[in-house]
């Protein structure tokens, strides 16, 4: 009897939920007839509804699961019910009426469609990876001279060569055919810039990775598909696959010699690989990327008059392999959105017809993240705001910090702007004149997006120049793995504070976030904090900070890696590791202070350094940087560089070092540097004194 009573209670509750989940017609509510203006960018959905609710006097909520999703709403003087209905339509959500509020929710059909599309794309990417690995095996089996000839033919007559290629070979042949190495001939100091082939052929780094993957047996492919790390080595440890002996590394990763006693000076590399070569590879299914590291322990001999030195370098590079995507197949899985979106040419025509030549734009947000100092980026939300201002069209879309576009002038390059936006969003010009947007594969971006509640306080502190190391530590300690991956595998978030210290020092910062107030005070004093005094969770973070994103290189080899004099890491992402100005600043400061001995047991300490300032003259395509602005002036006056209409900047760095010692007393240092960039006015050059002026002095 009790079972039946429970069943009927459940049935009645289910029926009530089905009734209450009926779509609500907001246009019937008198309070929502009010015309309002909503101008929100990168706003959490919960806060956006609260803002509209305050203007209308109507309670508006959303499901907790979507409350932190971000939206962009740029609408002037439109009925509130219309704005809310278009918002739901752009997101493929729906409104229902609860007792005390309208609630925005995710309908079952939308959730199921997302799950179906996500599953189909994952399966498709896995299929493409298997097919690409099969093609790599086929191509690796082709004699190397034939691959070289095929690649050469492809350069000279691409149409004829492509017809002869198997479809999957086209994206691989450039990498899997070794390139002829060149050497300089003549004297470069005398203006000779001639090169000749050495007869040595080596693979570029993507080719090294693909040749390794082509040798992978089926059990290795299965491990790769599961997202496990797969390793290759010239001295493979157990569970590691042999590095293909026929694959020659790039010259920068092989043993070398510099001889300054010759005329002209000579730099030579050995034709064979060094003794220790290793590769790690991991498949990231949510990005369709293969992340890999190629490493070698190379020797270098330096010879000059009366002096010879030998050094050992641990050299490694971190890169990605991108899988070609079957765009047509993906469109089939996303048919709703592709049919929903307005065709590209029609959209550009509609925007061009509404483009205003007199509308004024406010200055765009200043994001520290730039490419080589020249290319400026905006979020898609920033660019949609420009569209709204210049066309006076109401715009509603979802928003992500990780969705970036190049900052083009929309009035001059509308086609570029549309192309950039369409690379990230499905855009629809609605019959009622709204421009609606939904980011492509938004369900993959969602887990990587950091909440605005984390980022905005840091942006405010950065503008006030009160942002510090412990603020970064608190952020790092809260981040999920998907958010961490976004710093390295996707376009990293655009923030109005410097993200590079977070990227460079993430594991150290996550350790610092685990410390209590007493431990933080000890580190702030510059003292060593012994690892033995840490709690087990803190010790795990300590151990993580001694490594990095990749498994240890030693796990690749059955023999101990020789100790290296220098470690060179050329990462794929922007980094200040190895920055010569910062490294010199730290070394010079250390040289002026009392030397300290490393502790015998594992420990950690922090050291604050004086701020460092450098000067930059930046042109459209090149820049000159120095710690002394007068040296830049001399470079220009001597004709060693030409930068017309360049802009001067100062970059001030707040510098700290977080230093860990491992059980073997090997130190690991994290260079933490926050950059502040300001315009700079170069003082006028002092006038030259004349002989007459000197002779008139008493």
Is-contact 615 627, C-beta < 8 A? yes
User: In this predicted model, what pLDDT tens digit does every residue of 283-305 receive, in sequence order?
Assistant: 988 888 899 999 999 999 999 98
User: In this predicted model, what pLDDT tens digit does every residue of 35-45 receive, in sequence order?
Assistant: 999 999 999 99
Using CA atoms, how far residue 336 sits from 104, 333, 427, in Å, is 20, 8, 13
Torsion, Cα of 611, 615, 618, 621 (10° steps):
-80
pLDDT number for residue 323: 76
Q: How far apart are CA 408 and CA 308, in angstroms?
A: 53
**Cα–chain center distance at 624:** 25
pLDDT number for residue 634: 84
Q: Among the listed ranges 195-199, 408-412, 433-437, 504-508, which one has the minimum average pLDDT value?
A: 195-199
Q: How far apart are CA 482 and CA 435, in angstroms?
A: 30
The model's confidence at residue 61, banded by pLDDT at 50, 70 and 90, is very high
CA-based R_g, the chain, Å: 30
The model's confidence at residue 517, banded by pLDDT at 50, 70 and 90, is very high
- 11 pLDDT more than 90: no
**Cα–chain center distance at 40:** 26
Higher-confidence residue of 322 and 378: namely 378
The model's confidence at residue 376, banded by pLDDT at 50, 70 and 90, is confident
Q: What is the mean pLDDT of residues 257-272?
A: 88
Round the average pLDDT of the chain to a whole number and report it: 87
**Cis-peptide into 264, omega within 30 deg:** yes
- 162 pLDDT more than 80: no
- 256 pLDDT more than 70: yes
- Smallest CA-to-CA distance from 203 within 246, 161, 168, 233 is with 246
**Burial of 406 (C-beta count, 10 Å sphere; 0-12/13-18/19+):** middle
Distant-in-sequence, close-in-space partners of 620: CB < 8 Å, separation ≥ 6: 374
- Helix H or strand E encompassing 98: none
- 8 pLDDT more than 50: no
Positive or negative torsion for Cα 389, 392, 396, 397: negative
Is-contact 45 427, C-beta < 8 A? no
User: In this predicted model, what pLDDT tens digit does every residue of 200-212 receive, in sequence order?
Assistant: 999 999 999 999 9
Please report, rounded to a whole number, the percentage of residues in the chain having pLDDT higher than 90: 62
Strand 276-284 and strand 289-304: the pairing is: antiparallel
Is-contact 549 292, C-beta < 8 A? no
The model's confidence at residue 117, banded by pLDDT at 50, 70 and 90, is confident
- Cα of first residue to Cα of last residue in the chain, in angstroms, is 120
Torsion, Cα of 526, 529, 530, 532 (10° steps):
180
Q: What is the mean pLDDT of residues 634-656?
A: 83
- Helix H or strand E encompassing 577: none
User: In this predicted model, what pLDDT tens digit does every residue of 223-254 receive, in sequence order?
Assistant: 999 999 999 999 999 999 999 999 999 999 99
pLDDT number for residue 574: 54
Extract the tokens encoding 100.
Answer: 């005390």
Q: Among the listed ranges 4-18, 460-474, 515-529, which one has the minimum average pLDDT value?
A: 4-18
User: In this predicted model, what pLDDT tens digit does every residue of 347-359 receive, in sequence order?
Assistant: 999 999 999 988 8
Strand 612-618 and strand 603-608: the pairing is: unpaired
- Cα atoms in the 13 Å half-sphere on the side-chain side of 572: 18
- Tell me if residue 613 falls in helix, strand or coil: strand
Is-contact 404 381, C-beta < 8 A? no
- 185 pLDDT more than 80: no
pLDDT number for residue 10: 34
Is-contact 312 576, C-beta < 8 A? no
Q: What is the mean pLDDT of residues 470-495?
A: 91
- 369 pLDDT more than 80: no
**Angle at the Cα of 448 from the Cα atoms of 95 and 341, rounded to 5 degrees:** 50
Extract the tokens encoding 628.
Answer: 């002394």
Is-contact 297 562, C-beta < 8 A? yes
pLDDT number for residue 21: 53
**Burial of 356 (C-beta count, 10 Å sphere; 0-12/13-18/19+):** exposed
The model's confidence at residue 623, banded by pLDDT at 50, 70 and 90, is confident
The per-residue DSSP string of 310-353 comes to EEEEEEEEEEEEEPP--HHHHHHHTHHHHHHSPPHHHHHHHHHH
Please report, rounded to a whole number, the percentage of residues in the chain having pLDDT higher than 70: 89
Q: How far apart are CA 373 and CA 494, in angstroms?
A: 15
pLDDT number for residue 189: 53
> How many C-beta neighbours within 10 Å does residue 123 have?
12
Q: What is the mean pLDDT of residues 212-231?
A: 96
Tokens 């209450």 map to which residue? 20
Is-contact 429 346, C-beta < 8 A? yes
């Amino acid at each position: 009897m009790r079972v039946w009573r429970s069943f009927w209670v459940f049935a009645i509750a289910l029926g009530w939920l089905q009734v209450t989940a009926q779509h609500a017609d907001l246009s019937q509510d008198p309070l929502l007839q009010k015309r309002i203006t909503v101008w929100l960018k990168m706003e959490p959905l919960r806060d956006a509804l609260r803002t509209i609710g305050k203007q209308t006097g109507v309670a508006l909520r959303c499901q907790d699961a979507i409350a932190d999703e971000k939206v962009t709403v740029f609408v002037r003087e439109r009925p509130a019910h219309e704005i809310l209905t278009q918002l739901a339509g752009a997101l493929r959500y729906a409104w229902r009426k609860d007792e005390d509020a309208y609630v925005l929710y995710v309908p079952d059909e939308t959730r199921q469609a997302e799950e179906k599309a996500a599953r189909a794309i994952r399966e498709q990417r896995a299929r493409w990876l298997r097919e690409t690995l099969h093609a790599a095996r086929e191509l690796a089996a082709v004699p190397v001279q034939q691959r070289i000839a095929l690649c050469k033919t492809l350069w000279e007559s691409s149409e004829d060569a492509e017809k002869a290629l198997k479809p999957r070979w086209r994206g691989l042949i450039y990498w899997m055919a070794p390139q002829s190495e060149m050497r300089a001939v003549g004297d470069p100091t005398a203006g000779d810039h001639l090169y000749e082939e050495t007869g040595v052929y080596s693979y570029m780094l993507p080719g090294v990775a693909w040749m390794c993957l082509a040798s992978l047996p089926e059990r290795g492919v299965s491990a790769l598909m599961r997202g496990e790390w797969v390793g290759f080595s010239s001295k493979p440890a157990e569970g590691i696959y042999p590095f293909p002996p026929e694959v020659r590394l790039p010259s920068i990763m092989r043993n070398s010699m510099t001889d300054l006693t010759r005329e002209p000076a000579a730099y030579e590399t050995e034709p064979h690989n060094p003794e220790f070569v290793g590769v790690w590879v991991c498949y990231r299914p949510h990005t369709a990327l293969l992340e890999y590291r190629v490493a070698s322990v190379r020797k270098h001999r330096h010879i000059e008059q009366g002096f010879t030195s030998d050094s050992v370098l641990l050299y490694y590079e971190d890169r990605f392999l991108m899988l070609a995507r079957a765009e047509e197949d993906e469109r089939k899985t996303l048919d709703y959105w592709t049919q929903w979106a307005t065709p590209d040419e029609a959209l550009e025509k509609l925007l061009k017809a509404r483009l205003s030549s007199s509308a004024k734009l406010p200055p765009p947000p200043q994001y520290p993240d730039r490419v080589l100092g020249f290319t400026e980026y905006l979020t898609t939300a920033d660019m949609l705001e420009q569209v709204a201002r210049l066309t006076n069209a109401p715009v509603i879309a979802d928003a992500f910090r990780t969705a970036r576009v190049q900052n083009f002038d929309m009035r001059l390059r509308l086609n570029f702007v549309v192309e950039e936006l369409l690379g990230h969003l499905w855009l629809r010009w609605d019959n009622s004149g709204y421009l609606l947007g939904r980011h492509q594969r938004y369900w993959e971006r969602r887990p990587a997006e950091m909440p605005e509640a984390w980022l905005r306080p840091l942006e405010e502190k950065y503008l006030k120049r009160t942002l510090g190391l412990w603020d970064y530590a608190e952020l790092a300690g809260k981040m999920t793995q998907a958010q961490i991956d976004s710093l390295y595998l996707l376009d990293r978030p655009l923030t109005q504070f410097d993200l590079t210290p977070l990227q460079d020092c993430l594991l150290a910062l996550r350790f610092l976030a685990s410390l209590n107030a007493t431990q933080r005070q000890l580190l702030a004093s510059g003292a060593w904090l012994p690892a033995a005094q840490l709690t087990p969770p803190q010790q795990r973070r300590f151990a993580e900070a001694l490594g990095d994103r990749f498994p240890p290189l030693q796990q690749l080899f059955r023999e101990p890696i020789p100790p290296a004099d220098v470690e060179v890491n050329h990462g794929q992402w922007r980094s200040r590791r190895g920055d010569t100005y910062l490294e010199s600043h730290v070394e010079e400061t250390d040289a002026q202070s009392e030397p300290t001995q490393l502790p015998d047991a594992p420990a950690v300490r922090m050291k604050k350094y004086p701020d460092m300032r450098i000067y930059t003259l930046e042109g459209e395509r090149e820049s000159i940087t120095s710690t002394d602005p007068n040296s830049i002036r001399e470079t220009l006056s001597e004709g060693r560089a030409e930068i017309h209409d360049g802009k001067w900047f100062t970059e001030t760095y707040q510098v700290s070092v977080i230093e860990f010692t491992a059980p073997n007393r090997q130190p690991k240092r994290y260079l933490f540097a926050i950059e502040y960039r300001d315009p700079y006015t170069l003082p006028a050059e002092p006038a030259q004194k004349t002989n007459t002026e000197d002779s008139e002095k008493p």
